[in-house]
Each structure stands twice: as C-alpha cells, then as structure tokens.
Chains A and B, each alone.
Chain A
Amino acid sequence: GDSVTQMEGPVTLSEEAFLTINCTYTATGYPSLFWYVQYPGEGLQLLLKATKADDKGSNKGFEATYRKETTSFHLEKGSVQVSDSAVYFCALSDNNAGKSTFGDGTTLTVKP
C-alpha cells in the first residue's frame, strides 16, 4: 500500500537558518503530494502541494519539488523564523483512492 516516510525529528534550528525536512513516498499510481503544518493545539493546515512530477509547490517561503525519479518531496525554507515552529506532515493522495496517507510528522523548533 501507499506509505510516506519523513525525516525523524525533532529538528531545532536558530532563526534565519536553512531548513530541509526530507520526505519520500511509496505509491502504486501517480499521487499528488502535500505538506501540511500543525501549530500547537490546532488542526492541520495545507502548506503547499504538487500534483505531478517536477511541479514545485510553494507558500510562505516554503517550497518542495515533486521528484518522481527519487520518489521524494523534500520541504525547504531558506530562512526560518520563530513563528515557523510547528509539526510538519508530508502526505500523499492516491487520486483513485480518496484518502490521504500521512507521514509521522517532524517537529520543528526555531530558537531566536
């Protein structure tokens, strides 16, 4: 079945540092890929998405590129802020199945 593997956390960075959170996936079809963010005590919010190979999703300074050859969708940001501290989830949606499959989440803490 479908699966998503995320880089284990927690990740602690200083403000303005470069962020990479790795995500790889296994799927039988041609899934859409997503990053969601969860702030403390809240539900998940969609951060960015890509629907086909080589697409780049971007939002709020975050970006991720759909790499079919390496089955990856790594999240990057050039300069993190304290307000980026949250849990980040990589997810895929098999467009024929309806449901989405999530990774285990990576906790990011950004220190001033």
Chain B
Amino acid sequence: NAGVMQNPRHLVRRRGQEARLRCSPMKGHSHVYWYRQLPEEGLKFMVYLQKENIIDESGMPKERFSAEFPKEGPSILRIQQVVRGDSAAYFCASSPLANTGELFFGEGSRLTVL
C-alpha cells in the first residue's frame, strides 16, 4: 500500500534552470497539497489541487511557479528560472476527502539551486 510518492528526492539546479517536482497521491486520494519548507522554517502552504482543477493557489508566488494535477498521472510543481531563494524542501500531501485537515505527506523533494 504505497504512500504518497514524490520524486526526485533530491534535485540540483543552476540559477535560471527549470525544476519539476512530481507527486503521486495515495491510492484513492483525489486532493493534493503542496507545501514549501525553507531551511529552519515551518511549512508554508503553496497550492491545493483536485484532479484537473486548482482549488486554492493563494500561497504560490505570482511568477515562475505553477502546479497541475492532470486527469492521468502525477501532480507536477514547476519552478521556472530558479533562483537561490527557491532552495527548500517541497512536500506534497494528499487526502481522500476535502476539508478534513488530515494530510498524508510524501518524503519531500529537496531542491538545491547553485
């Protein structure tokens, strides 16, 4: 019974490159959330998606960041033209129902921008 799967676990990019982070939710879960954890800080909400829909993107930076959760395949968090400040751990979580608050987290993708 696989949990939330994120890949890659570690990603190194140079400034100006693109980063793509993938998340497969737990089986039967149709709600996906992305959070960012900066060094020595807590988790900050980025975006909440359901299949083919962005429900809440109030935590997403206005530029360079985008997210999708297509009908088939994993959810993707895309960061274009990365900068050093994007270095962080990006966590994906899923839930089977909306608004229960109980989240199942992946192990995170750690992005390092050189």
Contacts and interface: CB of A to CB of B under 8 A. Distances in A.
A69 to B, nearest CB: 21
Interface stretch (A14-22, A58-66, A76-84, A87-95): A87-95
Interface stretch (B68-76, B80-88, B98-106): B98-106
Given A44-B91, A89-B43, A97 B100 contact: no
A91 to B, nearest CB: 7
Contact of B99 (A34, A41, A43, A98): A98
Interface string A91-111: 111011111111111000000
A43 B91 contact: yes
A43 B101 contact: no
A39 to B, nearest CB: 10
B98 A98 contact: yes
A101 B33 CA distance: 12
A44 to B, nearest CB: 4
B25 interface: no
A12 B56 CA distance: 38
Interface residues of A, number: 26
Interface string B27-47: 000010101000001111100
B42 A43 contact: no
A46 B103 contact: yes
Interface centre among B99, B103, B105, by most chain A C-beta atoms within 10 angstroms, is B103
Nearest to A45: B105
Contact of B102 (A34, A41, A89, A96): A34
A34 B105 CA distance: 14
A93 B103 CA distance: 10
Nearest to A93: B101
A47 B20 CA distance: 30
Interface of B: 4, 6, 31, 33, 35, 41-45, 48, 55-56, 59, 91, 93, 98-108
Given A43-B108, A91-B101, 8 more contacts: A42-B107, A42-B108, A46-B103, A49-B102, A98-B99, A100-B101, A100-B103, A105-B43
